[in-house]
Structure 1
Amino acid sequence: MPPLVDQLERLLSRTAGTPVRVVSCEPHLDRDVAGRWTESHPWVLRCRVDSRLGDAGAALPRQLIVKTLRPAGDWRADPAYLRTEHAALRFLTSIGSTAAPRFVAADADAGLLVMEDLGPGPSLDRLLLGEDPNAARDGLVRYATALGRLHATTVGRAEEFYAIASALGPIDPALDLVSCNGFPLAGPRDRLLAYAATAPDLPDPVGIDDDIDQVFATLSDPGDYLVFVGGDSCPQNCRLVDDGGSGVRFFDFESACFQHALLDAVCLRFPFPGCPCWSLLPEEICDELETAYRKELAVRCPVAADDAGFATAFTAVAAAKTIQLVSHSEKYDGTYPPHGGGFSKRARSLATVDTFLTCARRSGTLTSLAGWFEEFATALRRRWPDAAAVPVYPAFRDRIVVKVRH
């Protein structure tokens, strides 16, 4: 077993108040993703503990997930990521949320975070990459419902989260507000504008400052939309379970914070763009997911029930996500390695712009920015003639293929 077992046994024994023995501890290796590729996360371990615990250890699950520091060189090797997830799980457990694994124990010095094992249930990516459109649709609706419920549960609780997080290390709630997936949005904004201003045949980024300022203002002051955001909305970061509730539980909170709810929910129209199995969804499915999400969120965030207000807020957040993703376009002008999932990053950039343009047309807002992005995408299509079409997820491909608009 891994050498950290001794440290883990000491931690669990302190937590349970009785000696605990780890009987197995296996790294998370070679996870098969619908027969298409495998994923390995050796810093995540599934452990079983001695079942002969007395009453003092009755609350300790017999099977646990242990997360350790990522290896040096990994872009998330900084201990701050594990510290953030520690704060997130402690917070959600403390408020009685079952949307995530229950927090069990942590040892910052040893780099150990112990949580409930959600079990072997399917994750959403397997359904999206499968062949059953009804199962995929059902999984997506359950996902959207669970996400809305999680957000509603955490409305008005930012101080509780940051009280826990600040006890573990430095925090910057103001910077969290204007970040995407843990990275400040100002960097991608500046990179995108510099690229457009200097690359040949791209439209100059003029006349859009006010709209970009509005995007940042929406993020900086989310109002009732301020909720706990997981920060990594990927279809593999959840389990579909039969729990009598929404049927989905989330995990992987290394970039969690409190910010605008729609920075999480934007994945319902930008389907998981940072994940290996990125593709598109049929428009009617996106509409259904948005409806399911809004219904749950509006329970504690009534502004989400206002159609015009929601469309305006969603457009601003969609613009933020577009700036983040499209800011890498300069890298795709030359030779670049294909994404591990097999899709074209050029096509993803163009599809991202199209999604934002659809949101802007629906809301009638950010018209200057939308006009500029439309010209920008037209210029990129001339530079990238290989990025003309984007398929929907395999589960829906017998029904439709979504083409990037020309």
Structure 2
Amino acid sequence: MERTVERLLGGVRVVERMDLGSSDLAPVARLFLDRSYDGIGRTVIAKGRRLTDVGWGRGSEFLRNERLALDHLRGTGLAPVFLASSVDEPAPHHEQVVVLTDLGPGPTVQELLFGDDPMAATEGLLAMARLAGALHGTVDPEFAAAHEVQFLDHPLDLWRPLTEAAAELGFPPPGDVELADLAGELRRHTTFTHGDFTPNNVVLVDGEARLVDLEGAGRRHPGMDAACLRLPFPQYGHWAVLPDHVLARMDRAYRAALAPMEDSAYERMMATGCAAWAIVRASRLRLIASTDQDSVEAVRRRTQIVQTLTSAAVSAMAVYPRLCTWFEELAGAMQLRWEETRQPPRGFQAFKDFPNQ
């Protein structure tokens, strides 16, 4: 990676490397240069292609999409600056790397949530919400992604697998719900979105939030990002719940950073995102119900889906009442079937002294 970066940047020399995250799965490193270079600084971040053929982030198209997204955000101050890439180089240069400016040591919002300071964690979450508002309110919506992420770009394709799994497992059927209305809203209002808007992908720089890991960026309904602030973070690997008063402040911070919007339009936007995410997450119903999974994972998945369904129903009931009634029925049936889902869900460490339900 170091030699590739030196070649791409031309004239720089890497003198030290610090691996960030899981270098075996997704090579990301902070590279220290022999001196400070104009427009670059003394350090850069280099990302390689993920070393897996399954799951999120596989394939060169994800790195290519990150390069396109960073170029799209150039000049906004919302993300690192793209410096160079070898993703599209022909042979013999086979190592695929994207080089970015370094945002510094952080912290990420994730680090604050797993710390012991609720005020710092709250401020980080509010900065994250303002960042989402700036992203959806000021960034040019005209973005052509290098690839599609099926569950983000076509979330309602998961409706049939969800309803088939519900029937197979003996859960209540959905009946006649507002699926066509939801599909229309998802198509009608689109903008530039991050796609994986979670606390580990937001870094604080002097108190201001910045985006990283834009591999899943695309032009979609803004609710696919914004709903993460209400549910919260339904796709997050370290999922936990947040106190209601923090969620309410995040919602206000996000809306304040958007262009002015009528209350009804804002609530429809949020309802659409929450409903879509509830379908995406509930489509994993066979996995959630499996008796072959690890017991700890079963508890996490089951408490999370109940919380996601009930939170989505609260946010979207006024817009999609029949769909949300089914979300509530499905969650209720899960609570009757799985005793662990009747317990309060886990909260983040920073808010350990606050009620979490």
Considering the TM-score relative to the shorter chain, is it more than 0.5?
Answer: yes
In structure 2, the CA distance between the partners of 1:380 and 1:82, relative to structure 1 (3 Å rule), is same
In the alignment, which residue of structure 2 is the partner of 1:313?
269
In structure 2, the CA distance between the partners of 1:378 and 1:293, relative to structure 1 (3 Å rule), is same
Q: Distance between the aligned counterparts of 1:273 and 1:83, measured in 2?
A: 26
Task: Tell whether 2:356 aligns with 1:386.
Answer: no
- Amino acid paired to 1:194: E
In the alignment, which residue of structure 1 is the partner of 2:205?
241
SS in 2 for 1:10: helix
In the alignment, which residue of structure 2 is the partner of 1:98?
77
Contact 1:338/1:345 (<8 A) preserved? no
Query: What's the offset of the Cα at 1:60?
Result: 2.4
Task: Tell whether 2:161 aligns with 1:232.
Answer: no
Q: Please point out which of 150, 158, 169 is paired with 2:141.
A: 158
SS in 2 for 1:387: helix
Task: Tell whether 2:240 aligns with 1:279.
Answer: yes
In the alignment, which residue of structure 1 is the partner of 2:294?
337
SS in 1 for 2:41: coil
Q: Show the 5 A alignment for 1:214-229.
A: 214-222=181-189, 226-229=190-193
SS in 2 for 1:26: strand
Query: What's the offset of the Cα at 1:158?
Result: 3.4
Q: Distance between the aligned counterparts of 2:191 and 2:295, measured in 1?
A: 35
In the alignment, which residue of structure 1 is the partner of 2:92?
none
Q: Distance between the aligned counterparts of 1:326 and 1:64, measured in 2?
A: 39
Contact 2:226/2:273 (<8 A) preserved? no
Contact 2:109/2:200 (<8 A) preserved? yes
User: What per-residue deviation string (whole Å, max 9, x for no partner) do you get for residues 249-296 of structure 1?
Assistant: 110001001112221111111222222321111222111111111111
In the alignment, which residue of structure 2 is the partner of 1:83?
64
Gaps of 5+ in 1: 14-18, 31-38
Task: Tell whether 2:21 aligns with 1:25.
Answer: no
In structure 2, the CA distance between the partners of 1:143 and 1:72, relative to structure 1 (3 Å rule), is closer
Contact 2:222/2:269 (<8 A) preserved? no
Contact 2:53/2:59 (<8 A) preserved? no
Task: Tell whether 2:355 aligns with 1:400.
Answer: yes
In the alignment, which residue of structure 1 is the partner of 2:47?
67
In the alignment, which residue of structure 2 is the partner of 1:9?
6
- Amino acid paired to 2:327: F
Q: Please point out which of 28, 32, 39 is paired with 1:48.
A: 32
Q: Distance between the aligned counterparts of 1:120 and 1:237, measured in 2?
A: 13
Q: Show the 5 A alignment for 1:163-178.
A: 165=145
Q: Distance between the aligned counterparts of 1:386 and 1:237, measured in 2?
A: 30
Q: TM-score when scaled to structure 2?
A: 0.91
Query: What's the offset of the Cα at 1:185?
Result: 1.2
In the alignment, which residue of structure 2 is the partner of 1:189?
159
Q: CA RMSD in A?
A: 2.2
Contact 2:241/2:345 (<8 A) preserved? yes
Contact 1:278/1:343 (<8 A) preserved? no
- Amino acid paired to 1:5: E
Query: What's the offset of the Cα at 1:313?
Result: 2.1
Q: Distance between the aligned counterparts of 1:295 and 1:180, measured in 2?
A: 28
SS in 2 for 1:379: helix
Q: TM-score when scaled to structure 1?
A: 0.80
Q: Please point out which of 319, 322, 327 is paired with 1:373.
A: 327
Q: Please point out which of 291, 314, 317 is paired with 1:358.
A: 314
In structure 2, the CA distance between the partners of 1:321 and 1:281, relative to structure 1 (3 Å rule), is same
- Amino acid paired to 1:158: P
- Amino acid paired to 1:81: F
Q: Please point out which of 215, 224, 232 is paired with 1:254.
A: 215
Contact 2:44/2:100 (<8 A) preserved? yes
SS in 2 for 1:105: strand
Contact 1:333/1:383 (<8 A) preserved? no
In the alignment, which residue of structure 1 is the partner of 2:168?
198
Q: Distance between the aligned counterparts of 1:332 and 1:113, measured in 2?
A: 36
In the alignment, which residue of structure 2 is the partner of 1:147?
132
Percent identity of paired positions between Structure 1 and Structure 2: 31
Q: Distance between the aligned counterparts of 1:289 and 1:98, measured in 2?
A: 21
Q: Distance between the aligned counterparts of 1:12 and 1:338, measured in 2?
A: 48
Contact 2:62/2:216 (<8 A) preserved? yes
- Amino acid paired to 2:195: G
SS in 2 for 1:121: coil
Q: Distance between the aligned counterparts of 1:365 and 1:61, measured in 2?
A: 49
In structure 2, the CA distance between the partners of 1:251 and 1:213, relative to structure 1 (3 Å rule), is same
User: What per-residue deviation string (whole Å, max 9, x for no partner) do you get for residues 316-374 of structure 1?
Assistant: 2111000001111221222213677x96100000001110111134xx22111112222
Query: What's the offset of the Cα at 1:79?
Result: 0.9
Query: What's the offset of the Cα at 1:205?
Result: 2.5
- Count of residues in Structure 1 that have an aligned counterpart in Structure 2: 348
Contact 2:234/2:277 (<8 A) preserved? no
SS in 2 for 1:63: strand
- Amino acid paired to 1:126: E
Q: Distance between the aligned counterparts of 1:338 and 1:309, measured in 2?
A: 42
User: What per-residue deviation string (whole Å, max 9, x for no partner) do you get for residues 47-101 of structure 1?
Assistant: 12221x7xxx5222220000011113342221111111010011111xx111101
